């Protein structure tokens, strides 16, 4: 197997998610400032959640479309076109001077960034089943590395030139991403493996997936996990600024710490963990660690803030690094080759819906008490742990794990 397409795809995903990482720690604070300046009667914390939700809700709509169209037209044109759309959204973000312009920018970026399903399907196209868990972790590693470099860069850019510098920089990165993929990323589909069903049937994949005993359970576990994780992610920088006095650069460094840990886990260790424990057990352990980490985020006493927060973030990175590849691999191994893009697109779509719901719930809970988004997320994760345990006990999750060792 040629390694060059995989390396190019990794770099493409990394550059895409680097832009995402640059924006993440700055956007909640910027959104709240514009919401207050706009004079809208809604609570500014809730409007901050609306901005985060708009990005994810667009991913909910477009992830199954991009995945399905990639099954028919090919992975390459979807990846290329969506990167250009994302670039446009970031350039608009850089010139946003009102809440509504910011909202438009995130809607456009959400449409473009829904291309991860096509990237996952590309990996499935060129990867044998027994290596799929490890290589699905590549997307998580790219996400982690985006968090390593993105948030600190975002904090520096915000200090140097505010959101204007951030938007232009991320837009230019996406254009470089487009050029890289254009010249070095070949098409992975052949005529034999193309799905001839029309793209508008893509949303049927969600209903079809939910009817499958194993895949439906994994979709639900993934949905609950992402709602809980996004409740922490979209409020952390506000929490650290308003309750602990951190600036943008310091918040960016904390997000960068998550990225370092996630990159190591998903890029280097996830294959060994899967062979050692099996995906179902790895999934449950990840949920436990994530629950512990999220629960502790708003509670550290000020003298011990950095030490205890770093420990919580380590648990969050470990949990996230175990959950994502386990779910992706189990679903991919139970999906036929002609429907990889459609099914993984449906997974990304429901995950995007979860990332839309999480910030809305977190914004409301944060406006009541800053502890509530984190304790609420912990309760949701306990529910997902029960579901994962029942899945493992039923035996449904064991067959794909045995297949990974063949």
CATH of the domain at 86: 1.20.1250.20
Say how many C-beta atoms besides its own lie within 10 A of residue 386's C-beta.
13
Whole-angstrom distance, CA of residue 226 vs CA of residue 222: 6
In a domain, 196, yes or no: no
CB 76 within 8 A of CB 341: no
Whether the CB-CB separation of 341 and 194 falls below 8 Å is answered with: no
- The whole-model pTM stands at 0.73
Evaluate whether residue 193 is within a structural domain: no
- DSSP per residue, 214-273: HHHHHHHHHHHHHHHHHHHHTTHHHHHHHHH---HHHHHHHHHHHHHHHHHIIIIIHHHH
CB atoms within 10 A of CB 213: 11
Give the CA angle between residues 66, 69, 71 to the nearest 5°.
110
CA gap 66, 82 in Å, rounded:
9
- The end-to-end CA distance of the chain, in Å, is 18
- Is 192 part of a structural domain of the chain? no
CA 114 to chain centre: 10
User: In the chain, how many domains are there?
Assistant: 1
Residue 305 falls inside a structural domain: yes
Q: How far apart are CA 34 and CA 47, in angstroms?
A: 10
Is residue 48 included in any domain, yes or no? yes
Tokens of 317: 């990175």
Domain assignment of residue 191, yes or no? no
Secondary structure of 365-399 as H, E, C letters:
HHHHCCCHHHHHHHHHHHHHHHHHHHHHHHCCCHH
In a domain, 197, yes or no: no
- C-alpha dist (Å) from residue 199 to 62, 119, 346: 11, 17, 12
Note whether residue 194 is domain-resident.
Answer: no
Angle among Cα 336, 342, 348 to the nearest 5 degrees reads: 120
Quote the pLDDT of residue 121. Answer: 77
**How far is residue 297's CA from residue 235's CA, in Å, rounded to a whole number?**
11
Please give the Cα distance from 178 to 401 (Å, whole number). Answer: 36
Which residues span the domain enclosing 303? 4-186+205-404
Q: What is the pLDDT of residue 401?
A: 35
pLDDT of residue 4: 58
Per-residue pLDDT, 339: 66
Residue with tokens 């470089």: 176
Going residue by residue through the chain (406 aa), what tens digit of pLDDT does each one get?
344 577 777 777 787 778 878 888 788 888 888 988 888 878 888 888 889 888 888 888 887 788 778 877 788 888 889 889 999 999 999 999 889 999 999 999 989 887 777 777 787 777 776 676 667 667 766 766 777 788 888 888 887 888 888 999 999 989 988 888 888 888 777 655 555 555 555 566 677 777 777 788 889 999 999 999 989 887 888 899 889 988 877 888 888 787 778 777 776 777 777 778 777 888 899 999 999 999 999 999 988 999 999 999 999 988 988 888 788 777 777 777 666 666 776 777 788 789 889 988 998 899 899 999 999 999 999 999 999 888 777 765 554 433 333 2
CB of 330 closer than 8 Å to CB of 214: yes
Closest to 352 (Cα-Cα) out of 28, 64, 33, 51: 64
344, 117 Cβ separation under 8 angstroms:
yes
pLDDT the model gives residue 400: 40
């Amino acid at each position: 197997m040629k390694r060059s397409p995989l390396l190019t795809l990794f770099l493409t995903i990394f550059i895409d998610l680097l832009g995402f990482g640059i924006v993440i720690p700055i956007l909640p604070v910027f959104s709240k400032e514009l919401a207050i300046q706009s004079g809208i009667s809604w609570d500014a914390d809730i409007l901050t959640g609306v901005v985060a939700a708009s990005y994810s809700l667009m991913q909910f709509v477009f992830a199954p479309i991009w995945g399905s169209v990639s099954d028919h037209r090919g992975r390459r044109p979807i990846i290329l076109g969506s990167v250009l759309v994302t670039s446009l959204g970031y350039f608009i973000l850089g010139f946003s001077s009102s809440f509504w312009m910011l909202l438009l920018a995130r809607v456009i970026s959400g449409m473009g960034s829904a291309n991860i399903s096509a990237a996952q399907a590309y990996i499935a196209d060129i990867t044998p089943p027994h290596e799929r868990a490890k290589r699905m972790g590549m997307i998580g590693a790219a996400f982690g590395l985006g968090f390593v470099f993105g948030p600190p860069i975002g904090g520096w850019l915000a200090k140097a030139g505010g959101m204007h510098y951030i938007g232009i920089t991320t837009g230019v990165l996406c254009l470089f991403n487009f050029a890289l993929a254009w010249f070095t990323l070949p098409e992975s589909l052949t005529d034999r493996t193309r799905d001839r069903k029309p793209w508008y049937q893509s949303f049927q994949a969600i209903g079809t997936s939910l009817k499958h005993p194993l895949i439906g359970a994994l979709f639900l576990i993934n949905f609950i996990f992402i709602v809980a994780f996004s409740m922490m992610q979209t409020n952390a920088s506000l929490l650290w600024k308003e309750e602990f006095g951190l600036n943008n650069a310091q918040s960016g460094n904390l997000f960068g710490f998550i990225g370092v840990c996630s990159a190591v886990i998903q890029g280097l260790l996830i294959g060994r963990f899967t062979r050692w424990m099996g995906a179902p057990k790895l999934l449950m352990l990840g949920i436990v660690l994530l629950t512990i980490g999220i629960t502790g985020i708003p509670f550290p006493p000020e003298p011990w803030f950095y030490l205890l927060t770093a420990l919580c973030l380590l648990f969050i990175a470990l949990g996230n690094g175990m959950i994502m590849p386990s779910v992706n691999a189990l679903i991919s191994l139970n999906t036929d080759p002609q429907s990889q893009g459609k099914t993984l697109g449906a997974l990304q779509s429901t995950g995007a819906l979860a990332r839309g719901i999480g910030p809305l719930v977190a914004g409301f809970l944060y406006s009541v008490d800053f502890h509530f988004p984190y304790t609420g997320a912990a309760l949701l994760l306990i529910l997902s742990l029960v579901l994962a345990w029942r899945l493992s006990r039923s035996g449904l999750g064991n067959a794909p794990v045995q297949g990974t060792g063949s």
